[in-house]
Copies of this chain bind each other. A is one copy, B any other.
């Protein structure tokens, strides 16, 4: 009798836990097996070309979210746009590198306070490795926080944080700093071990149920050139799995400014960015999303329904 009673309660409890353990899609109000995607444009603020193309791709195309590089000189332009378009989904693209040869920028924090973040000319380092070698987690935390503060101060209400060149996702200590700032401001941060697969277990141990881990990253990489952009993304969208896919693109025009900025580099260069712009503003893209029952979502939904709930 006693045993039967206990079993009854165990079953009841299991049902209760099961019903609380909704998956991400359900927590956001979508069907349990929904294929969710954030179509996300990186690098806004870096140039006028990037700003103009990306806002166009958000207004007229399928791009649902974007993130902004606060330390860059064209930040003011996109901050003014963000103020005028409060419906647009903008995050802060935490930037600790300045990778272009002839176009440089540095921290928003006073250089004296973050000497490990800058090279001898006062600019961010070009590579993620140099940041890992030279910057302390405290410097990364301070600069991350100051980029959020400056973003907010100039009119961006960030829906998320993510990571330029994956820098703050490439070291566990940097990740902790970035996650801490996200928690402070109740802003969801992009969490993925895409940049450093060996950090997965340790990252997972740090997160709570207010944090959201994306299930997949879909992004064109140098090895995909043989496929071409439309085929790569069309196939990628057709093969989306249930869960949240983070589709990372970089939308800009292949114009004089962008060609000068990116030099002749093919990878993530001016022509690459134009090709991504072209696909994600095409009717073909909208169609393949619709035909495959993909839900294109925003970070704002995650922020307001999960992080701030």
For residue A206, give the distance in angstroms from its CB to the closest CB of chain B: 31
Whether A49 and B80, one on each chain, are in contact in the complex, defined by CB atoms closer than 8 angstroms, is no
Whether A154 and B121, one on each chain, are in contact in the complex, defined by CB atoms closer than 8 angstroms, is yes
Instruction: Tell me the complex Cα distance, A74–B46, Å.
Output: 12
Any B CB within 8 A of the CB of A204? no
Any B CB within 8 A of the CB of A247? no
Residue of B nearest to A72 (CB): B73
Residue of B nearest to A123 (CB): B76
Q: Choose, from A7-15, A105-113, A137-145, the stretch at the interface.
A: A105-113
Q: Known contacts being A112-B112, A257-B256, is A76 close to B102, with CB within 8 Å?
A: yes
Instruction: Tell me the complex Cα distance, A257–B150, Å.
Output: 24
Instruction: Tell me the complex Cα distance, A257–B47, Å.
Output: 8
Q: Known contacts being A48-B261, A256-B256, A256-B257, is A122 close to B102, with CB within 8 Å?
A: no
Instruction: Tell me the complex Cα distance, A255–B258, Å.
Output: 12
For residue A78, give the distance in angstroms from its CB to the closest CB of chain B: 9
Whether B103 and A76, one on each chain, are in contact in the complex, defined by CB atoms closer than 8 angstroms, is yes
Interface residues of A in 132-184 (CB under 8 A from B): 150, 153-154
Q: How many copies does the complex hold?
A: 2
Contacts of A210 in B (CB 8 A): none
Instruction: Tell me the complex Cα distance, A48–B257, Å.
Output: 6
Contacts of A102 in B (CB 8 A): 48, 74, 76-77, 80
Number of interface residues of A (CB under 8 A): 33
Instruction: Tell me the complex Cα distance, A154–B76, Å.
Output: 27
Instruction: Tell me the complex Cα distance, A76–B108, Å.
Output: 19
Whether A103 and B73, one on each chain, are in contact in the complex, defined by CB atoms closer than 8 angstroms, is yes
Contacts of A21 in B (CB 8 A): none
Any B CB within 8 A of the CB of A2? no
Whether B110 and A48, one on each chain, are in contact in the complex, defined by CB atoms closer than 8 angstroms, is no
Interface residues of A in 51-88 (CB under 8 A from B): 52, 72-77, 80
Q: Known contacts being A52-B260, A110-B110, A260-B48, is A103 close to B121, with CB within 8 Å?
A: no
Any B CB within 8 A of the CB of A101? yes
Beyond A48-B260, A74-B102, A255-B257, 9 additional contacts (C-beta under 8 Å) are: A48-B256, A72-B73, A73-B103, A73-B105, A76-B101, A77-B103, A77-B260, A110-B110, A121-B154
A interface with B by C-beta (< 8 Å): 47-49, 52, 72-77, 80, 101-105, 108, 110-113, 120-122, 150, 153-154, 253, 255-257, 260-261
13 A-B pairs whose Cβ atoms sit less than 8 Å apart in the complex? A47-B257, A48-B103, A52-B256, A73-B104, A74-B103, A75-B104, A77-B260, A111-B111, A112-B112, A255-B256, A256-B256, A256-B257, A257-B257
